[in-house]
Amino acid sequence: MIVDYGEPTAPKTFKSELCIIGAGPAGITMALELAKAGRPSLLLESGGYTPEVATQSLYQGENIGRSYFPLDGTRLRALGGSSGHWSGWCGTLNENDFLERPWIPYSGWPISKSTLDPYYARAQEYLELGPYRYDAGFWSKEYSDFPDFEPDNLLARFWQFSAPPVRFAQKYRAALEKSELITLVLHCNVLQIEINENGDYARSIEIGSLSGRSGSVVASNYIVACGGIENARLLLASNKGNPAGVGNDNGLVGKFFMEHPEVDCGRIYSFDASQMKALKRLETRGGTEIGMAFCSSPKQQQKMKIGNGAGFIAAPRVSFEGNGWAAFMSIRKNLSQGRIPENFYAKLRDFMIDFDTFAGMFGLWLRKISYSTQIIQKGSIRVISMCEQVPNPDSRVVLSREKDKFGNPLANLDWRLSDLDRRTVRQTMVLIAAEMNRLGMGRLEIDKWLRNENGTNWSPDVRGGHHHMGTTRMASSPNWGVVNEDCRVFEISNLFIAGSSVFPTGGYVNPTLTILALALRLTDHLMSSS
C-alpha cells in the first residue's frame, strides 16, 4: 500500500512494529524481505516517485573540505534513492578488507567476509546479477588471453554489472503497491528521532511534509536507511534531548567519511585492442556482464603499508593526438550550436589526416553500436585508480548553520584525503605497470603528478565515486564506532542503521552489493530477535 503524506486525506500519525526511514535500495529490500516472512513494516520516503526540485533541495549543503560534487546532486531524494542514477557496478569487499591491519588506523570490522557471504548471494538476485562468483579462477575461461598475474603482486578482481542498472523505484513499485504488509509513505520527512529520558530507547519520530502537515510515528524498532551523509545528519540533528545528537555520546557520528578516490593515473601504450576490450567489460557465455580490476595483493599491501588499491581501464575512447573522430565530433557539436569551434583549422586537419579512425567510428555509429565501449588499436588508453580511502576522523559530515525548509540544519561535508591514500594510489599503479610490462600486455606510463614517491600533491581531477561511507561506523565497542555488529546504535536498544555509513573500511569496490548484503543480514536479525 502506498500513501502520500502530502495529501490532506493521509493519516497524520502511524504505528508499526518496524519503521524503515528511507526507501532506497536498502529500505526497499528490507521491507520486501519482511513482507515475505509475513511481517508488516512502515517505509517512509521523503520524496515522491521521481526527483522533485523542492524535495531535492533538502540535500543542499556546502563542501568545506576537498572539492566534491554538489551535495544535492550526488544523491537522489525519491523512491528508489540513488539507484535512480547509479551505473550498476557491483562487487564484494575482499577478505582482508574486514581484517584489522596494523598499518591502517581504525581498520577492522567486527564481522568477517564469511559472515556476509550468504547475504551477498541473496543480494545478487535483487540486483539481477549473475552467479555469486567474483574469483579469477571462475571467470578466466571467459577470456581468450587471461593475464597470468603473479599472485603475490597483483590479483584479478571482478565487478559484475547490473545491466541495465536496476532502478528500485521501477522494479519494485508494483510489489510495494500490492503488498498488504508494507505501508510506503511518500513525501514524508523525518525531522527528529525522539529518545526517552534514560537515553536508551527511541520512543517516536517526528515527521512532516513540505505541504505543511506534521505528525509522528511510534514503532517497536526503527531503521535509519537514508544514505551515508543523511544518516549522520539525522542523528546529529536529533538533539532536543542531547545537544550532541542521537548515538553520539563519544562524538563519532559523522566522522570517518570515506569515498573511493577516482583519478586518472596513467596511459597504456602498445596494447592489444581485443584483449583490452575484454578486460574492460565482457558479456559472458551465460549472459553476465563482467569487468576486471587490477588489484594489489594483500601481501604487497602489507609489505608497502598501503590500503587496498585497484586500477581499471577507463571507459574506452579513442585518445591520441590528431584524433579524427574527436575532431569531427567537436566540429559537429559547435556548428550545431551556431558557432565556429576553437582551432577550427587544426581540427579540420586532424579530421582529414586521420580519416580512417573517423570512418571506423562512424560505421559503428551508423550501425547503432555503442562506440563508447570500443577500443581502437591506436593511441593510448587511460587507467583509472579506485582505491580504498583509509579511515580518517577528520574527514567528516558536520551540521551547517544554514537550515532546510523544516528548520533543521543542513549537512556540510569536510572530505579529506591523506598521504597514505596517495601512496596507496601510487604503489598500486607501480604494481600494475610492472606486471603489464612483465606479461607484455602493454606499457603503462604513470602520470607525472604521481611519479614522485614522496610527493603529497594530488591531481586536480581527483574525484569520488558518489560512494558515501563510514559516518556511523560499525565496531566492537562504542569507543570506536556508532553501531555494533548487528548495526544497532550502541546506546539505544531499538535503533538500527542500514547502508554504507556503517562501513568501518570501504575497500576499493562499489558499495551497493555490500549495502544490500548488510540490509538482508539486519532484516534476519530483526526477525529472529522479536
292-301 pLDDT, tens per residue? 999 999 999 9
| Cα(262)–Cα(386) distance, integer angstroms | 5
| Measured distance between the N- and C-terminal CA atoms of the chain, rounded to whole angstroms | 24
Looking at residues 217-230, what average pLDDT do you find?
98
Res 353: pLDDT: 65
Res 316: pLDDT: 46
Kindly state the cell numbers that stand for 251.
Answer: 562524538
Res 269: pLDDT: 87
Res 184: pLDDT: 98
| Cα(373)–Cα(16) distance, integer angstroms | 48
Res 300: pLDDT: 97
pLDDT digits (tens, 9 = 90+) for 112-164: 999 999 999 999 999 999 999 998 889 888 887 788 999 999 999 999 999 88
Question: Domain boundaries in the chain?
Answer: 1-89+166-258+392-416+466-530, 128-161+261-315+381-387+418-461, 324-374
| Cα(476)–Cα(457) distance, integer angstroms | 35
Is residue 59's pLDDT more than 50? yes
In one-letter notation, the amino acid at residue 88 is G
Q: Parallel, antiparallel, or unpaired for β 189-195 and 202-208?
A: antiparallel
Res 319: pLDDT: 41
| Cα(521)–Cα(447) distance, integer angstroms | 42
Residue 303 banded pLDDT, cuts 50, 70, 90: very high
**Residue 360 backbone class (left: φ over 0; alpha: ψ -120 to 50; beta: rest):** alpha
Res 521: pLDDT: 98
| Cα(267)–Cα(281) distance, integer angstroms | 18
Residues near 42 by beta carbon (within 8 Å), at least 6 away in sequence: 14, 16, 18, 19, 20, 183, 185, 217, 219
Looking at residues 476-495, what average pLDDT do you find?
97
Looking at residues 436-444, what average pLDDT do you find?
92
Looking at residues 360-373, what average pLDDT do you find?
55
Residue 201 banded pLDDT, cuts 50, 70, 90: very high
Is residue 515's pLDDT more than 80? yes
Select from 398, 411, 318 the least CA-distant residue to 360: 318
Q: Find out whether 482 and 450 touch, Cβ atoms under 8 Å.
A: no
pLDDT digits (tens, 9 = 90+) for 304-318: 999 999 999 875 444
Res 40: pLDDT: 97
pTM: 0.88
Is residue 356's pLDDT more than 70? no
Looking at residues 256-284, what average pLDDT do you find?
88
Res 358: pLDDT: 67
Q: Find the range with the poorest average confidence among 37-46, 251-260, 411-420, 440-449.
A: 440-449
CATH of domain 1-89+166-258+392-416+466-530: 3.50.50.60
Res 327: pLDDT: 78
Res 14: pLDDT: 97
Is residue 181's pLDDT more than 70? yes
Is residue 274's pLDDT more than 90? no
Looking at residues 324-332, what average pLDDT do you find?
77
Beta strands in 225-353 (DSSP E): 262-269, 282-283, 289-296, 310-313
Res 18: pLDDT: 97
Looking at residues 71-78, what average pLDDT do you find?
94
Q: What is the mean pLDDT of the chain?
A: 91
pLDDT digits (tens, 9 = 90+) for 450-482: 999 889 999 998 999 999 999 999 999 999 999
β-bridge mates for residue 296, sequence order: 154
- Residues of the chain with pLDDT > 70, as a percent, come to 92
- Residues of the chain with pLDDT > 90, as a percent, come to 77
Is residue 374's pLDDT more than 80? no
Res 422: pLDDT: 96
Looking at residues 415-432, what average pLDDT do you find?
96
Is residue 510's pLDDT more than 90? yes
